[in-house]
Amino acid sequence: MVTSTNLLKKSIFALSIFIVVLFAIFPFIQMLSTSLKYQWDWGNPSLIPSKLNIDAYKELLNIGQAEKEVPQSVLNLLEENTELSKKQKKEILDKYKSTGDVFPFFKFFFNSLILAFSSAFISVLIAIFGAYSFSRVRYKGRGIIQRSVLLVYMFGPILLLIPLYILSAKFGLISTSVGAFITLMTIYMVLTLPVSLYMLGNYFRTIPYSIEESALIEGCSRFGVIWRIVIPLSISIIVTVFIYAFMIAWNEYLFASVFLKSFAELNTLPLGLRQLFVSKNAIWDRIMAASMLSAIPVIVLFMLIQKQLTGGMTAGGVKE
Amino acid sequence: MNSDSVISKSIFTRGSILEDREKKFGWFLILPSLIIIVSLVLYPIVYNIFLSFFEVKVTGNNEFTGIQNHLNIITDPAFWQSVTTSIVYVLFTTLGTTLVGLCVALLMNRKFPLRGLVRSLILLPYVAPVIAVVYSWQFIFDPVNGIFMHIAYDKLHLFTERINLIRSPDTSIYVAILFGIWKNFPFSYLMILAGLQAIDTGLYEAAEIDGCKGWQKFRYITFPEIYFLLGSIILLRAIWNFNKFEEVFLLTQNVKVLPIYTYLKAFTGIMDIGHGAAIAMIQFILLIGFILIYVKRVLKW
């Protein structure tokens, strides 16, 4: 009797866990499944493709696209024509490789990578000193500073978007592609700075002060303490905060859509994906494959820092 | 004793020169962060208020119009429509994420095999880029191919025809709310779980001796212990959901919450920045009002 109610309880528990996990990851499974299906297979509710289709990935990653789209007559013509040099032949062939224009994945990926990496790097660098200042150094006014950083949590992106757009337009920053790119990078840095300050500040408080004190007694300078003791001791949380800031910038759409509107060559992955969806090239398997490719870097990074991040998020403030 | 008092003992007793140096050092370190936040967050907010009194031209001079922008906005029925949409959206997403988050946290507070894996999996909605998951949702609710209509129409006969829930104006808000809950419940779950784990297990043991059953334990111990935590999480989520743009805009064009209304006014068609700034300002005032009432009533500060 006891064991049977226990068994029932256990299976209800297992079932609830299963439902929660399914709820959380079903859209990801659906994404993967559709990205691997042929068009005739889309309506099939089964998540396992009847026949595996990796064309969408090949197309986006530009693998084996070289000869596929070139009409046979052109190939024949090129072969018969001996007067053309190799270089000229290649140029003609390149004209038929149109898929790069549909969704130049690597270009978007590269743009996103530079933006997210540089903004996260600068944000964390500035935050290390700022967080050390208000978690360790004692002076008047640091409480107010700490609270005003908290205040930034309340401002929605839309409230900042309008004034920042007008300011950068009036200063002529968004009339050139380089200017727009740097402006956007600075904005991402600002958006990630509060969370970096908070998570680092909360961690620095847990480092025993006696370690720093003994270094000071040994003749280490205050900067030396930060450089030789605080940073090495908190390297794992620094990496975590960096990756979190990186993810915020990587995922951002709104600011990018406004600031990079007239610079197609600088578009980030989210912008490219949006354009793919609204263009005539929108085909489900292609969209899903592009979604997978945009999500995978973030998911991999997240898995690397998962434990640290959940600790850091719950210990202090966290901003989206 | 916290580290602050240790610092003060070890350094400040040595005299005011050190104290002064300490102060300079502190300001020196915080200065870059401070300059950035003041010049790129606080100043723009003030500038936004300033802009709302002008007819703004991206190139050329702005034209002062007083409170005309604000008046135009608050007499526009579309604005109030948008306020209503926002309230509905914020109310249901906030309650939904908190409720789902609480249930999941209660489940995850027990030990079971593969818990580590389950933990990472259920955080995925929160960390994945919005843009990468909206299209998967679009596909799930696609009237022709989607699994939702396959189940709801073919199997359960809940609908009389296969309709596009995301495209149709009446139903899109429900999908947006569901999407918001799905995307953000991991955050609430994480915070609540941290709160649950901080509860002294002795309390439960004492309650068991007094003959408390499962529900009573939740009602009389767990809930009071995490009341203020829940209150703060709801507040944070309400603020963030009120400011949400991408999660709604990228999923559906039909749910015009306030940030989307602002965006459409300011950046599409005839770009009307002045009106956009006015809406953003009114939106912010509404938010502050809500926060003040909430903090007083629920958090009892």
Q: 3-state SS of chain A?
A: CHHHHHHHHHHHHHHHHHHHHHHHHHHHHHHHHHHCCCHHHCCCCCCCCCCCCCHHHHHHCCCCCCCCCCCHHHHHHHHHCCCCCHHHHHHHHHHHCCHHHHCCHHHHHHHHHHHHHHHHHHHHHHHHHHHHHHHHCCCCCHHHHHHHHHHHHHCCHHHHHHHHHHHHHHCCCCCCHHHHHHHHHHHHHHHHHHHHHHHHHHHHCCCCHHHHHHHHHCCCCHHHHHHHHHHHHCHHHHHHHHHHHHHHHHHCCHHHHHHCCCCHHHCCHHHHHHHHHHCCCCCHHHHHHHHHHHHHHHHHHHHHHHHHHHHHHHHCCCCC
Of the listed ranges A30-39, A196-205, A293-302, B16-25, the one predicted with least confidence: B16-25
Which helix (H) or strand (E) segment holds residue B208: the answer is: helix B201-209
Question: Which tokens go with A77?
Answer: 């013509």
Contact B129 A136 (CB under 8 A): no
pLDDT tens per residue, range A244-293? 899 889 999 999 999 998 888 889 999 988 888 888 777 888 889 989 99
Residue A232 domain-assigned (yes or no): yes
pLDDT score of B295 more than 50: yes
Query: In 3D, which of B280, B6, B37, B237 has the Cα closest to residue A147?
Result: B37
Nearest to B30 among A20, A145, A298 (CB): A145
Contact A155 B58 (CB under 8 A): no
Residue A257 domain-assigned (yes or no): yes
Question: Using alpha carbons only, what angle is made at residue A251 by residues A246 and A253, rounded to the nearest 5 degrees?
Answer: 130
- Note whether A205 and A87 are same-domain residues: no
Which residues in chain A have their CB less than 8 angstroms from residue B267's CB?
A: 165, 258
Residue A48 domain-assigned (yes or no): no
List the single best residue of A121, A159, A243, A268 to mutate versus B (max B Cβ within 10 A): A159
Question: What pLDDT, on a 0 to 100 scale, did the predictor assign at position A145?
Answer: 80
Question: What pLDDT, on a 0 to 100 scale, did the predictor assign at position A207?
Answer: 83
Q: Which residue has the higher pLDDT, B29 or A43?
A: B29
Arithmetic mean of pLDDT over chain B:
86
A180 to chain B, closest Cα gap in Å: 15
pLDDT above 90: percentage of residues in chain B: 32
Query: In 3D, which of A187, A175, A163, A182 has the Cα closest to residue A252?
Result: A187
Contact A318 B187 (CB under 8 A): yes
Residue A56 domain-assigned (yes or no): no
Question: What pLDDT, on a 0 to 100 scale, did the predictor assign at position A70?
Answer: 61
- Note whether A77 and A214 are same-domain residues: no
Question: What pLDDT, on a 0 to 100 scale, did the predictor assign at position B14?
Answer: 52
Burial of A71 (0-12, 13-18, 19+ CB in 10 A): exposed
Which residues in chain A have their CB less than 8 angstroms from residue B186's CB?
A: 24
Confidence of residue B247 (pLDDT cuts 50, 70, 90): very high
All domains in chain B, ordered by first residue: 3-51 (no CATH), 74-297 (1.10.3720.10)
A252 in Cβ contact with A184 (< 8 Å): no
- Note whether A173 and A302 are same-domain residues: yes
Contact B7 A136 (CB under 8 A): yes
pLDDT score of B205 more than 80: yes
B287 to chain A, closest Cα gap in Å: 9
A21 to chain B, closest Cα gap in Å: 6
Query: In 3D, which of B115, B84, B118, B108 has the Cα closest to residue B257?
Result: B84
Residue A105 domain-assigned (yes or no): yes
B195 in Cβ contact with B229 (< 8 Å): yes
pLDDT score of A23 more than 60: yes
List the single best residue of B4, B11, B29 to mutate versus A (max A Cβ within 10 A): B29
List the single best residue of B2, B3, B189, B237 to mutate versus A (max A Cβ within 10 A): B3
Question: What pLDDT, on a 0 to 100 scale, did the predictor assign at position B1?
Answer: 40
Confidence of residue A305 (pLDDT cuts 50, 70, 90): confident
Q: Which residue of B has its CA nearest to A27?
A: B136
CA separation, residue A109 to residues A243, B35, B124 (Å): 16, 31, 21
B230 to chain A, closest Cα gap in Å: 13
pLDDT score of A146 more than 60: yes
- Note whether A163 and A221 are same-domain residues: yes
- Note whether A88 and A113 are same-domain residues: no
Question: Which tokens go with B227?
Answer: 């009341």
- Note whether A197 and A301 are same-domain residues: yes
Contact B40 A314 (CB under 8 A): no
Residue A28 domain-assigned (yes or no): no
Query: How many independent structural domains does chain A possess?
Result: 2
- Note whether A146 and A243 are same-domain residues: yes
Final residue in a domain of this structure, among A78, A97, A116: A97
Final residue in a domain of this structure, among A59, A80, A97: A97
pLDDT tens per residue, range A81-134? 766 666 676 666 665 555 456 678 888 999 999 999 999 999 999 999 999 988
- Note whether A77 and A176 are same-domain residues: no
Question: What pLDDT, on a 0 to 100 scale, did the predictor assign at position B224?
Answer: 87
* B55 three-state secondary structure: strand
pLDDT tens per residue, range A221-239? 888 888 888 898 888 889 8
Question: What pLDDT, on a 0 to 100 scale, did the predictor assign at position B269?
Answer: 77
Question: What pLDDT, on a 0 to 100 scale, did the predictor assign at position A292?
Answer: 92
List the single best residue of B5, B110, B145 to mutate versus A (max A Cβ within 10 A): B145
Question: Which tokens go with A131?
Answer: 């967080």
Nearest to B107 among A16, A165, A277 (CB): A16
Confidence of residue B2 (pLDDT cuts 50, 70, 90): very low
- Note whether A118 and A93 are same-domain residues: no
Average pLDDT on A153-162 reads 83
pLDDT tens per residue, range B37-46? 889 988 999 9
pLDDT tens per residue, range A114-127? 999 999 999 999 99
- Note whether A106 and A88 are same-domain residues: no
Q: Which residue has the higher pLDDT, A190 or B212?
A: A190
Residue A47 domain-assigned (yes or no): no
Average pLDDT on B215-238 reads 87
pLDDT tens per residue, range B81-115? 999 999 999 999 999 999 999 999 999 988 888 88
Contact A302 B123 (CB under 8 A): yes
pLDDT score of B5 more than 70: no
Question: What pLDDT, on a 0 to 100 scale, did the predictor assign at position B64?
Answer: 85
In A, residues 176-235, which contact B (CB 8 Å cutoff)? 186-187, 189-190, 193-194, 197, 205, 208-210, 213, 222
Average pLDDT on B12-30 reads 76
Confidence of residue A72 (pLDDT cuts 50, 70, 90): low
Query: In 3D, which of A74, A66, A73, A52 has the Cα closest to residue A99?
Result: A66
pLDDT tens per residue, range B51-74? 999 888 777 777 888 888 899 888
Best-predicted range by mean pLDDT (A218-227, A295-304, B97-106, B282-291): B97-106
- Note whether A161 and A283 are same-domain residues: yes
The domain that holds A202 is classified in CATH as: 1.10.3720.10
Q: Which residue has the higher pLDDT, B181 or B202?
A: B181
Residue A31 domain-assigned (yes or no): no
List the single best residue of A25, A26, A140, A162 to mutate versus B (max B Cβ within 10 A): A162
Q: Which domain holds residue A120?
A: 101-315
Contact B250 A136 (CB under 8 A): no
Q: Which residue has the higher pLDDT, B277 or B149?
A: B277
How long a stretch of residues is chain B?
A: 301
Contact A28 B44 (CB under 8 A): no
Question: What pLDDT, on a 0 to 100 scale, did the predictor assign at position A216?
Answer: 84
Interface A-B: count of C-beta contacts within 8 A: 264
Contact B245 A299 (CB under 8 A): no
* B256 three-state secondary structure: coil
pLDDT tens per residue, range B156-166? 888 888 888 88
A202 in Cβ contact with A195 (< 8 Å): no
- Note whether A166 and A268 are same-domain residues: yes
Question: Which tokens go with A199?
Answer: 């998570």
Would you state the torsion angle of the CA atoms of residues A164, A166, A169, A171, taken in this order, to the nearest 10 degrees? -80
Final residue in a domain of this structure, among A55, A80, A97: A97
In A, residues 289-308, which contact B (CB 8 Å cutoff)? 291-292, 294-295, 298-299, 302-303, 306
